[in-house]
Structure 1
Amino acid sequence: MLTQRDKTRPSVDVVLPCLNEAGALPWVLERMPPGYRAVVADNGSHDGSPNLARERGAVVVTVPERGYGAAVHAGLHAADAEVVCVCDADASLDPAQLPHLVDGLLAGRAELVLGRRRPTSVRAWPPHARLGNAIVAGRLRQRGVPVRDLGPMRAARREDLLRLPVADRRFGYPLELLLRAAQAGWRIVEIDVDYHRRVGRSKVTGSPLGTARAVRDMSALLASLR
């Protein structure tokens, strides 16, 4: 994995929230674009993920507080690049496509660029999970956030992200991030990215019941945010 910075462009760190992703991390880290540094925010893995990541050149930060938002937030603080991307560590998304998002950011098209997931197979994104995502995205649009997907791949400038008052440290983090960005007047654009079947089972929407609970809880969170 190449981590040497390109001095002619802003530096880029890639935060990878991680909980027991040893089966996927090698592929994810091998696909990191040249000059993009991986920051693995480990959220309590017991499958050797942290050591595996270190062996492959990633920066690893241990995050004792459990939750997706806690891992991302810790990763942002551990990063030092001007531009920060976030990408899942389960091999569902290809880090090689991150430059498309970063190029949109650096071209001045937006302050936040999101990867809008396009499944590469029927099994990559089960119907119940797609429906749940569509419901929550629709409720975000009603609040003025122009998105079709709450996708976990995104790019923004690190200092801008740290200034947003995002308080959620669990699975509601992406939803609150989008709402706070829109409230701050950020331009938000989506760029299509491939979405593959993940390695292992989703920790949030791995079943119809899990998806229903996630939609319920995220809808309640959205209603509580002002």
Structure 2
Amino acid sequence: MKNVSNEDRQAGYRKVLDYSDTVVLVPCLNEEASVAKVVEGFQNHLPGCRIVVYDNNSTDDTVALAAASGAEVRHEKMRGKGHVVRRMFRDIDAQIYILTDGDLTYDPSKAPAMIDLLRKDALDVVIGRRIDAGGKEYRRGHRFGNRALTSTISRLFRSELSDMLSGYRVMSRRFVKSFPVEAKGFEIETELTVHMLQLSIPFAEVDTEYGARHEDTESKLRTFVDGFRILRTIAGLTILERPTLVFGASGFAACLVALAMFLPVLAEFQQTGLVGRLPTLVVSIVLGSTGLVSIFTGLILSGITRTRRDMKRLAYLRLPPPVPSE
């Protein structure tokens, strides 16, 4: 994984002036105050690109303003960012995909640098690593939560990652079309990151300022509700991706406790020939049996996980890789 500074590369990243192979995907819900500026920003910095705004049941003028700005407008009725991204990845075909938000918190001027890095190094993902621009949008609680979750995922997959929840990503066709979307809401970024790390997909991170939302709009991210859903997603993915660790560790701990309970009963029986603590004996046997079942469950699930990961990798490798640019 590469950590790249933008400032010293920006000029060189404007060599490619034709972005006809690139599509910008913008999920939107009531973003009339900013969607036109988002579309115009990417039009200015990525001449020739295709911009698709996916409306998620907006009740304001988001659709009209996006269309008036020159974007292609499509609709997804099922509410939630995960549903919108699933529809986007299923219906849109391109060589390079840019996923961004419609609230103007991500800087369109960084897109050429991210695309050039993807092409130059034949990467599959380039993540816009958010740098606080001094606005109030990147709140302290969100920043702390992102760091904690990113640290957990990085340790789980033994990878260097700085911002797993960034919604600004440049992706190859091979990555997008091999990604099985399960998320319904804002946990989609977690799924994107885990899919990338579990298959050891080549990626990089590029610094990008994270600005404040327009004053007339409000964030759709609910700190506690969506934070809980993201934690639940990470817990579920941990069980799926590391079953030996989860079930093996808990099973081994149960066996140790069972052994500690059983040994005094065994010592008493050897001395007196009687079982004075029958309930303790029964509990230790049940606990030990449960621990052994848990350990073997972890081993069986580990084999299933390996098979599922291999199937994902085959789907990923079936598509042609990005061609490095000169």
1:203 counterpart (201, 217, 220): 220
Give the stretch that moved more between structures: 193-202 or 212-221: 212-221
Asked whether 1:127 is paired with 2:140, we answer yes
Whole-Å Cα distance in 1 between the matches of residues 18 and 186 of structure 2?
36
1:131-181 C-alpha deviation (Å, 9 max, x unpaired): 121121111112225321121000111242121223113211110111011
Whole-Å Cα distance in 2 between the matches of residues 130 and 108 of structure 1?
29
Question: Equivalent residues in 2 for 1:38-57 (5 A)?
Answer: 38-57=51-70
Q: What is the CA-CA distance between 1:76 and the residue it aligns to?
A: 2.5
Distance 1:157 1:109, change over 3 A: closer
TM-score by length of 2: 0.62
Aligned pair count reads 216
- Partner of 2:230 in structure 1? 218
Q: What is the CA-CA distance between 1:71 and the residue it aligns to?
A: 1.1
Instruction: Could you list the structure 1 runs, at least 4 aligned residues long, displaced by more than 3 angstroms after superposition.
Output: 6-10
- Partner of 1:176 in structure 2? 191
**Larger strand share, 1 or 2:** 1
- Checking the alignment, whether the CA contact within 8 Å between 1:182 and 1:188 is kept in structure 2 is no
Whole-Å Cα distance in 1 between the matches of residues 69 and 210 of structure 2?
24
1:3-49 C-alpha deviation (Å, 9 max, x unpaired): xxx89666100000100000011211111121222110111101021
Distance 1:165 1:76, change over 3 A: closer
Structure 1, unaligned runs of 5 or more: 1-5, 205-209
Q: Share of identical aligned residues, percent?
A: 28
Q: What is the CA-CA distance between 1:220 and the residue it aligns to?
A: 1.5
Q: What is the CA-CA distance between 1:75 and the residue it aligns to?
A: 2.1
Residue type of the alignment partner of 1:164: F
- Partner of 2:123 in structure 1? 110
Q: What is the CA-CA distance between 1:110 and the residue it aligns to?
A: 2.5
Question: Equivalent residues in 2 for 1:115-194 (5 A)?
Answer: 115-144=128-157, 145-149=159-163, 150-194=165-209
Residue type of the alignment partner of 1:188: F
Give the stretch that moved more between structures: 131-140 or 188-197: 131-140
1:61-97 C-alpha deviation (Å, 9 max, x unpaired): 1001111111122222342321000011001112221
TM-score by length of 1: 0.88
- Checking the alignment, whether the CA contact within 8 Å between 2:19 and 2:49 is kept in structure 1 is no
- Checking the alignment, whether the CA contact within 8 Å between 2:20 and 2:50 is kept in structure 1 is no
- Partner of 2:30 in structure 1? 20
Distance 1:59 1:9, change over 3 A: closer
Residue type of the alignment partner of 2:28: C
Structure 2, unaligned runs of 5 or more: 1-15, 241-326
Structure index of larger Rg: 2
> In structure 2, the residue corresponding to 1:143 is in which secondary structure?
helix
> In structure 1, the residue corresponding to 2:224 is in which secondary structure?
helix
Residue type of the alignment partner of 1:178: T
Q: What is the CA-CA distance between 1:100 and the residue it aligns to?
A: 1.4
